[in-house]
Amino acid sequence: MMTSSPSASSVYFALVPAAGSGARMQSKRLKQYLPLSGHPLIFYALQTLCAVPRIARVFVVLAPGDDEWTRHDWSSLGPKLAPLFCGGATRAESVRNGLRATATQVQAQDWMLVHDAARPCLATWHVDALIDGVGDYDEGGILAIPVSDTLKRADEQGGIAATVPRTGLWQAQTPQMFRHLYLRRALETHGSDSAVTDEASAMEAQGFRPKLVAADPTNLKVTYPLDLHLAGWILQHRGDEA
C-alpha cells in the first residue's frame, strides 16, 4: 500500500512502551527496572536512543502511577527524554496511548521509532541502519534478522508435527519505524486484534508492506532470566563501539 510522499522535513522521534509486567522473568520487580550493570534495564535503550543525533525526542510510556520511575536518576540522558504516564494493559495500547499523547508535539508525517524497553543492547549503529535503510520509503520498516535455525512445529503432545521451511523467514526486532499518522491509524483500527503482536503487524493489517532492515543478534530481547546475563555480557564486551 504505497501512499503519497510526505514532506522531506520529517523529524525522527522514539517511543518506548514500558508499562508491562514481564511475567516470564519470574521477578517481583517490573522487568524494565531490573538491575543490569549498575542501571535499570531500560536505561540502556533510552541512553542509546537519546545519543542518536537524528532523534529529536525520546518518549517513554509508563503505567499510570508508576512510582518506580522517580526512584532512579535519569539526568545523564539529557533533555531529550520525556516520560508519559499513559501506558495501557497491552503493548499495543501503550503505543497507541503514547501516539495520542504526542499528537500535539509531533507532525503527522514525522517518523516514530518504537523500541522495546527490554532490548538494552540496542546500539546507535542499529538505529542509524534502520533510518538509512527505510529512507523515504513511506510504508516504514523494522530491524530484523534472517532465521538461521531449523524450525519445528509442535503438536498437542509436544512432539514434532512438522519442519517449517525457513526460507524467507525473518525474526522481528525493534525499533520499528513508521509515520506517526499511519501507525496511529493502524493501532486505532487493529490494536485489539489478537494477531497484532507488534507495530509492523498492525501496519500489515492496514495493507502496508514494511521494509526488513538487517540487524544482528546482539540486539536481543530480555525475556527470561538467562537473557539478562547475556545482555550484561554484550554490554560489557561491546567496548567503545557502543
Task: State phi, psi for 119 to the nearest 5 degrees.
Answer: -115, 80
110-136 b/e (C-beta count within 10 Å ≥ 16 → b)? bbbbbbbbbbbbbbbebbebbbebbee
Q: 20 or 118: whose pLDDT is higher?
A: 118
- 5 burial (CB, 10 Å; 0-12 / 13-18 / 19+) is exposed
For 153-199, write each residue's pLDDT tens digit: 999 999 999 999 999 999 999 999 999 999 999 999 999 999 999 99
Whole-model pTM? 0.92
Residue 5 lies in a domain: no
**Is residue 239 over pLDDT 90?**
no
H and E: helices and strands count for the chain: 6, 11
Please compute the mean of the pLDDT values over residues 92-114 and round it to a whole number: 97
Residue 18 lies in a domain: yes
Q: 7 or 36: whose pLDDT is higher?
A: 36
Residue 1 lies in a domain: no
Q: Could you tell me whether strands 170-179 and 111-114 are parallel, antiparallel, or unpaired per DSSP bridges?
A: antiparallel
Strand segments (E) across 77-220:
81-84, 111-114, 141-146, 151-154, 160-164, 170-179, 211-214
Q: Could you tell me whether strands 55-62 and 81-84 are parallel, antiparallel, or unpaired per DSSP bridges?
A: parallel
For 10-55, write each residue's pLDDT tens digit: 899 999 999 976 554 445 689 999 999 999 999 999 999 999 999 9
Residue 146 lies in a domain: yes
Residue 4 lies in a domain: no
- Cα angle, residue 207 at apex, residues 49 and 143 outer, rounded to 5°: 25
Amino acid at 174: T
- Cα angle, residue 140 at apex, residues 119 and 20 outer, rounded to 5°: 35
For 188-228, write each residue's pLDDT tens digit: 999 999 999 999 999 999 999 999 999 999 999 999 999 99
Q: How many domains does the chain have?
A: 1
Residue 105 lies in a domain: yes
Give the pLDDT confidence score for residue 9 in this predicted structure.
75
**Is residue 130 over pLDDT 70?**
yes
Residue 2 lies in a domain: no
Kindly report the number of other CB atoms within 10 A of residue 218's CB atom.
18
How does residue 240 score in pLDDT terms, banded at 50, 70 and 90? very low
CA–CA separation, 120 and 221 (whole Å): 8
Give the pLDDT confidence score for residue 2 in this predicted structure.
47
Residue 28 lies in a domain: yes
Q: Spell out the residues 6+ positions from residue 67 whose beta carbon is closer than 8 angstroms to its own.
A: none
Nearest residue to 221 (alpha-carbon basis) of 140, 122, 125, 107: 122
Q: 76 or 27: whose pLDDT is higher?
A: 76
Q: 221 or 6: whose pLDDT is higher?
A: 221
Give the pLDDT confidence score for residue 29 in this predicted structure.
82
Range of the domain at 236: 12-241
Give the pLDDT confidence score for residue 8 in this predicted structure.
54
Which position has the grid cell 522473568? Answer: 25
The CATH number given to whatever domain includes residue 182 is 3.90.550.10
CA–CA separation, 57 and 96 (whole Å): 17
Low-confidence winner among 5-14, 34-43, 62-71 (lowest mean pLDDT): 5-14
128 three-class SS: helix
